[in-house]
Amino acid sequence: MTETAFWDTSGFVPLCLQQRNSSHANQLLDQYAMAVWWTAPVEARSAFARGLRKGVITAREHQEAIVVLDRMRWEWTEVYPDDFLRSFAETLTDRFPLRAADALQLAAAAEWAMQRPTGRPFISGDKRLLEAAGQLGFRTIAV
């Protein structure tokens, strides 16, 4: 059985769009099932649209990324918002130099880990978020 990891949006976008780290992300997907934060699909779609607007990806690549994202959604575990998660995210902004969305991602990961993150895998492409996750005890994996 595949171990589950918490995937930050920056960790799974390379699964949807061809990027320099896509090969590594696919290797990680072979090793780790996905748990993601409730807003991760919105963040991913925002990244896709930004790439399209900037001319980094084509309209076809944009559409293909959406199809891959929709397919992945059927397989992953989603962490939903609640008052505790929001409160914990608020404290994370005091402890670490995180943006609001990243604090919510990390709080969702902690909730997924039932507040026992030690050794649980956390996958991200964001250096600052990986550092904070590591300080909480997660086993961090960079994409």
Q: Where in the sequence is the domain holding 111, given as residue range(s)?
A: 3-142
Q: How many domains does the chain have?
A: 1
For residue range 9-24, what is the model confidence (pLDDT) as tens digits?
999 999 999 999 999 9
For residue range 49-99, what is the model confidence (pLDDT) as tens digits?
999 999 999 999 999 999 999 999 999 999 999 999 999 999 999 999 999
- CATH of residue 80: 3.40.50.1010
- All residues at 6 or more sequence positions from 105 whose CB lies less than 8 Å from its CB, including other chains: 8, 9, 37, 40, 124, 129
pTM given for the model: 0.95
